[in-house]
Every structure is written in C-alpha cells, then in structure tokens.
C-alpha cells in the first residue's frame, strides 16, 4: 500500500492507496502543505476486488469513516476519490469545531463566509475572491471555534466543477491545476491549488464578519436574512451540530446573533464580486 | 437554555440534546411557569398579569399549547 500524508488546516490525513498514481497527483498538488507526523484520519483507496485492481481498476473509498453505499470510482478519478474520502472524514468525524458546509475568504482579519446548496456558486466565488485580494480560507468546510467563535481555515484543494473550470483558468493565470476529470458523478471536475498565502496562513483564524447565501443564475438582488432563518440554515449546513450538543448550540447562537447575513442573487462573477464588495463595506 | 432571536426563540434542551425553535406564546408560557407545576388556568392567570388579555378566555388556548410543549418534552404532565 502506497502512502501520502498531508495537513489541511487543523486536520491531518494519511491516505493509503493500492495504486501509486492518485497519490503522485496528490503529492504534486499538495506539495506546499505541511506533512503531519500523526494523522487524525486514515483514508484508503482500495480495489473493489482483486481482479478490479488491474482490469478496469475501480477505487472503493474506505477510511475511518465510511458511507456503506458510496459508489466506487474509476482509477482515472482516483484523485477525486481521495478528496471525497478526506471530506467524508471531516463531515462525519470532526468534533473540535462546528463544521459548516461553506466557503470562506478573509480580509483584514475578518472572514466572509458563504453557504448554500451545491450549485449556488459558493465554491467558485471563494476561489474567485481568493485570486482578487482576499485570502482564500476554504471552499468546502468552515470550522467555527467553540470558544472564540472564530472561523478556522480548511484550505484543501479548490474543487472546480463544470463552467467554473473555464472561469478559473481565465482568472488564475499562474494557478496550478490538477488533471481534468470529465463526467464524474459530480460533473467535470478539476482541482486548483489555493493561492500561496492561503496555504502559508492556513493556521490563522479570522473573525466572522459577514455571512452570505449566494444563488447563482438570478438577476442581482440582496435580501436581509434574520437570525432565526440563519440559525435554521446553518444547522442544515452543519454535519456535526447535533453531535456537539450544548457547545454547538452556544457557538451557533452566538454566530447568528453577531454576524450579519444577506442572501444575494447574481448572474456572473463580476456581478457577485461587486455585490460582495458593496456588502462588505456596509456590514463588515 | 433559551435564546430569543427575532420572532422565534431557540430552546436547547440539555436532557435530550434537541434544539427546539418556538414562536410565541411558547417562550412566554415557559418563562411564566419557571420550575412550577401549574394548571392551564394558573398559567393563564400569570400571563394575564403581564400581558393584556382575559385569562378565562385564554385558558383553552394555553391548555392546547401546554399539550404541544408536553409532546416536545419541554413541559411535563403532572397527574394529581
């Protein structure tokens, strides 16, 4: 079994694989990240059967935390399998922070957090802003500290889907991209290494200052979102709120009482960036 | 733990670990009761002292809300 280790924010991963290629791809993309001594989570990319290790190789996603019905992926999507497995460990296992399914960027020590359904554009927006003067903190998970309420970065590889790939190829001209994986279960996927400041400062938290619920594909609009609606949406966006008990409750209630929230509609990245800058100036 | 937000109030129940999101008059009923065992009439009288309504007319409504709160486990039914 081949092995690769990587530290992303506060979480340390060990990824084992029966094939070398996905780990070589990971090692190349994560080459600027710290290598941890003791992993929090182990992930294994294994063949579904002995035969399928060699013939039309098929990668089953295994690890400390597993979904029993997770479909295996072809070896060409081994990198995606590893990323999905790492996400799964966080979503099911992380207990040190309130974990929000959200993206975040930072400016002046303050965090802009964006959450919403898949396809809302939160990931693309974070990637875009991360290349336009903001520090990228993460495009998948935001970790909220149980004591301070600060947002802790989790800047894993940026996972670009479909149209976002072209948009970021045009924006991140000096960016390092992973291989294009067409027609995955999530559509076309291509990973992008976060900007170097995101990796260098991945241990530096930021105070949440603005929460946005973006919706892509509508005419530009802004709507204020009240604390109780924010609370309901954030509990839905958190995989570990219930498990954290009273700590989770006090952390999230403080969050919704102190962080202004807006829903924004937008048609493209330029419109979104203008809205973000306007709201940031007003609220943060 | 009770945290009022806007028109809704969050109630975190330590024993079950469940977060309830309630609207008026549930938080007002819980606050009026405190830790006391009361009938719906008695809750209505306490609330009528704070808010402007006729406690005799409100007792049925409050009894219905108390039943809902009991189903959620936020109040307990006492049998004399």
Residues A239-282 have pLDDT tens digits of 999 999 999 999 999 999 999 999 999 999 899 999 999 999 99
Interface contact B6, partner A, CB < 8 A: yes
Best residue in A229, A247, A248, A253 for a mutation probing chain B (most B CBs within 10 Å): A253
Best residue in B1, B15, B19 for a mutation probing chain A (most A CBs within 10 Å): B19
Q: Using pLDDT thresholds of 50, 70 and 90, give the confidence band for residue A85.
A: very high
* Helix segments in chain A, DSSP class H: 21-29, 78-93, 122-130, 163-171, 196-200, 227-237, 241-258, 269-283
Q: Are A106 and A128 in contact (CB under 8 A)?
A: no
Q: Are A103 and A139 in contact (CB under 8 A)?
A: yes
Q: What is the pLDDT of residues A27-61, one digit of tens each?
A: 999 999 999 999 999 999 988 777 777 778 888 88
pLDDT higher than 70, residue B72: yes
Interface contact B5, partner A, CB < 8 A: yes
For chains A and B, count residue pairs whose Cβ atoms are closer than 8 Å: 33
Residues of chain B contacting A226 with CB distance shorter than 8 Å: 5-7
- What is the pLDDT at residue B23? 94
- What is the pLDDT at residue A177? 97
Residue of A78, A65, A62 whose CA lies nearest to A11: A65
Across the range B26-50, mean pLDDT stands at 93
Residues in chain A: 284
Q: Using pLDDT thresholds of 50, 70 and 90, give the confidence band for residue B29.
A: very high
pLDDT higher than 90, residue A70: no
Q: Using pLDDT thresholds of 50, 70 and 90, give the confidence band for residue B56.
A: confident
Helix (H, G, I), strand (E, B) or coil at A283: helix
- What is the pLDDT at residue B79? 79
Nearest CA-CA distance, residue A256 and chain B, Å: 9
Q: How many CB atoms lie within 10 A of CB A236?
A: 12
- What is the pLDDT at residue A33? 98
User: In this prediction, does ipTM exceed 0.95?
Assistant: no
Burial degree of A212 (CB within 10 A; 0-12, 13-18, 19+): buried
pLDDT higher than 70, residue B80: no
Please report which helix (H) or strand (E) contains residue B59, including its range.
helix B55-72
Burial degree of A25 (CB within 10 A; 0-12, 13-18, 19+): middle
- What is the pLDDT at residue A112? 98
- What is the pLDDT at residue A50? 77
- What's CA A101's distance to the chain center, in Å? 7
Which of A226, A242, A253 lies at the smallest CB-CB distance from B10? Answer: A253
Q: What is the pLDDT of residues A155-168, one digit of tens each?
A: 999 999 999 999 99
Sheet holding B2-4, edge to edge: B2-4, B8-13, B18-23
Q: Are A178 and A157 in contact (CB under 8 A)?
A: yes
Q: How many CB atoms lie within 10 A of CB B77?
A: 9
Interface contact A187, partner B, CB < 8 A: no
Across the range B44-64, mean pLDDT stands at 90
């Amino acid at each position: 079994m081949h092995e690769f280790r990587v530290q992303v924010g506060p979480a340390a991963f060990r990824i084992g694989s029966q094939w070398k290629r996905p780990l070589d791809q990971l090692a190349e993309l994560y080459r600027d990240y710290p290598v941890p001594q003791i992993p929090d989570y182990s992930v294994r990319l294994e063949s579904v059967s002995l035969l399928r290790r060699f013939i039309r190789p098929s990668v089953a996603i295994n690890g400390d935390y597993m979904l029993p019905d997770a479909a295996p992926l072809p070896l060409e999507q081994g990198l995606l399998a590893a990323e999905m497995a790492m996400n799964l460990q966080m979503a099911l296992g992380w207990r040190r922070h309130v974990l929000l399914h959200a993206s975040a960027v930072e400016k002046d020590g303050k965090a802009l957090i964006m959450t919403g359904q898949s396809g809302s554009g939160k990931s693309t927006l974070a990637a875009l802003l991360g290349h336009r003067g903001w520090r990228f903190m993460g495009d998948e998970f935001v970790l909220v500290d149980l004591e301070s309420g600060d947002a802790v970065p989790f800047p894993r590889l940026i996972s670009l889907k479909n149209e976002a790939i072209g948009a970021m190829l045009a924006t991140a001209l000096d960016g390092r991209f992973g291989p294009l994986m067409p027609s995955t279960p999530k559509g076309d996927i291509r990973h992008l290494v976060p900007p170097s400041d995101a990796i260098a400062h991945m241990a530096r938290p930021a105070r949440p200052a603005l929460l946005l619920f973006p919706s892509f594909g509508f005419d530009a609009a802004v709507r204020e979102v009240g604390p109780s609606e924010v609370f309901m949406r954030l509990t839905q966006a958190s995989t570990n709120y219930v498990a954290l008990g009273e700590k989770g409750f006090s952390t999230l209630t403080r969050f919704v009482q102190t962080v202004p929230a807006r829903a924004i509609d937008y048609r493209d990245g330029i419109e979104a960036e203008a809205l973000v800058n306007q709201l940031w100036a007003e609220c943060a | 733990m009770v945290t009022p937000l806007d028109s809704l109030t969050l109630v975190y129940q330590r024993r079950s670990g469940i977060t309830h999101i309630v609207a008026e008059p549930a938080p007002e009923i819980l606050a009026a009761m405190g830790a006391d065992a009361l009938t719906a009439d008695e809750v209505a009288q306490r609330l009528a002292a704070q808010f402007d309504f006729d406690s005799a007319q409100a007792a049925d409504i409050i009894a219905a809300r108390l039943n809902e709160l009991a189903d959620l486990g936020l109040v307990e039914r006492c049998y004399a």
